[in-house]
Amino acid sequence: MPPLDRLTCQDTFARLDDYLDRALTVAEMAAVQAHLDDCLACAREYRFEQGVLDDMRAKLAHLEVAPGLLERVRAAVDRAAQDLGAG
Amino acid sequence: MPCRRVRFPSAAAPARLPASPAPSRCRAWPLPKDDSLPDAPTPTTAEFIRLLEPLLAAAHRTALHLTHNPSDADDLVQEASYHAFRAFHTYRPGTRFAAWFFTILTHAFYGEYRKRRRRPDTRDIDDVPPLYLYERASETGLLGSDADPAAAILERLDVAHIVRALGELPEEFRVVASLFFVEDLSYEDIARMLECPVGTVRSRLHRARRLLQKSLWDVAVEAGIVPSAPIPTADPGAPAGHQE
């Protein structure tokens, strides 16, 4: 295991998925961040990866709910309440 | 201690599901009958709708990614709402209702909609190399000196393109991608929903990220939004700028 105080590009790349998912240890997160602060190429790749997900999520937030869905949900919940009362 | 994404206190899990006869596969089960739980105050439909209504857009979005069909997505949300209200006494007030409801939504999907699928999802998936979208964008001259290269590509895609790209993923990757990348649920929430180890969720997400990037690019090429062929470079051996 390479020392965390000085990660190479390869070491950082190997951790990129977990870094994006915030699934590294505190020490590893700091080590990856330190490398990204120093390496423009790796930083650009990381920003791109994160940006794709952020932009995709932002666009999908505008997906519209079909008209009438809330009413259908209310009807389903009322039916469930009736079935619970009957059962 | 491993660092894990922490969002909100996890919702109480729905009543324990029956043991799987095939634990080697990550799968979800329908909820059991509720007779085993102690008496609780009768939940009201108004209280339930008050909790569910703010989630409706996210539930519809997730259902759409799961079913890949708008009509089926609405049916799935309706069915999940029915089952969720019947199991409402298992929800612990103050815990994360979204995680609790999405568990039921996912179970409803695995319990019903998969059975209706006309053909099994047997697509062969080649391993997609990492940074796929970045590399394609670089080869076709889309990155340039843009301050936000990701936006330079994503702004060319509309919501329908992104929904389609997600829909092209095989189901096991589409489910985790939707729950994690889109709905921002945690590894632990997803693992609980799918009754998988956290490690399985993690490895699927890593692969899903790459598959999704390829899918986004393929959709963009097919729509004529981005060029399909790399732009010839003057010096193909130019270094990438990485440190040794």
pLDDT digits (tens, 9 = 90+) for A9-19: 999 999 999 99
Contact check, Cβ <8 Å, B187/A21: yes
The pLDDT value given to residue A11: 93
CA nearest to B241 within chain A: A41
pLDDT tens digits, B88-125: 999 998 899 999 999 999 999 988 766 665 555 555 56
Whole-angstrom Cα distance, residue B244 to residue B230? Answer: 27
Only one residue has tokens 């193909």, namely B236
Contact B82, B108 (CB under 8 A): no
Q: Which residue among A52, A66, A84 places its CB closest to the CB of B86?
A: A84
What band does B80 get if pLDDT is binned at 50, 70 and 90?
very high
Q: How far is A79 from chain B (nearest CA, A)?
A: 7
Q: What is the 3-state secondary structure (H, E, C) of A57-70?
A: HHHHCCCCCCCCHH
Reply yes or no on whether the pLDDT at B9 is more than 50: no
How many beta-carbon pairs under 8 angstroms link A with B?
153
Contact check, Cβ <8 Å, B5/A72: no
Q: Is B80 exposed, middle or buried (0-12, 13-18, 19+ CB in 10 A)?
A: buried
Is the CB of A59 inside 8 Å of chain B's CB atoms?
yes
pLDDT tens digits, A33-71: 999 999 999 999 899 899 998 999 888 888 888 889 999
List CB contacts of B12: < 8 A, sequence separation 6 or more: B90, B91, B92, B95, B100
The pLDDT value given to residue B38: 52
Please report the ipTM that was assigned to this predicted complex: 0.82
Is the CB of A41 inside 8 Å of chain B's CB atoms?
yes
Q: Which residue among A22, A47, A62 places its CB closest to the CB of B3?
A: A22
Q: Tell which wins on pLDDT, B3 or B135.
A: B135
The pLDDT value given to residue B210: 92
Most confident of A21-25, A49-53, B79-83, B233-237: B79-83
Contact check, Cβ <8 Å, B133/A48: yes
- Lowest mean pLDDT, pick from B1-10, B80-89, B120-129, B207-216: B1-10
Whole-angstrom Cα distance, residue A59 to residue B163? Answer: 10
Mutate to test the interface with A, among B85, B143, B215 (most CBs of A within 10 A): B85
Show contacts of B4-7: CB within 8 Å, 24+ apart.
B4/A22, B4/A23, B4/B186, B4/B187, B4/B188, B5/A21, B5/A22, B5/A23, B5/B186, B5/B187, B6/B186, B7/B96, B7/B184, B7/B185, B7/B186
Reply yes or no on whether the pLDDT at B1 is more than 60: no
Mutate to test the interface with B, among A12, A60, A64 (most CBs of B within 10 A): A60
Q: Is B51 exposed, middle or buried (0-12, 13-18, 19+ CB in 10 A)?
A: middle
pTM: 0.74
Contact check, Cβ <8 Å, B70/A66: yes
Only one residue has tokens 């997900």, namely A53
Is the CB of A5 inside 8 Å of chain B's CB atoms?
no
Reply yes or no on whether the pLDDT at B31 is more than 80: no
Helix-helix angle A69-86:B45-52, to 10 degrees? 150
Tell me the chain B residues in contact with residue A54 when contact means C-beta distances shorter than 8 Å: 150
Q: Which of B2, B131, B204 is nearest to A46 (CA)?
A: B131
The pLDDT value given to residue B231: 67
What band does B148 get if pLDDT is binned at 50, 70 and 90?
confident
Q: Which of A24, A79, A51, A38 is nearest to B85 (CA)?
A: A79
pLDDT tens digits, B43-73: 689 999 999 999 999 999 999 988 888 899 9
Is the CB of A13 inside 8 Å of chain B's CB atoms?
yes
What band does B22 get if pLDDT is binned at 50, 70 and 90?
very low
Q: Which residue among B48, B205, B240 places its CB closest to the CB of A77?
A: B48
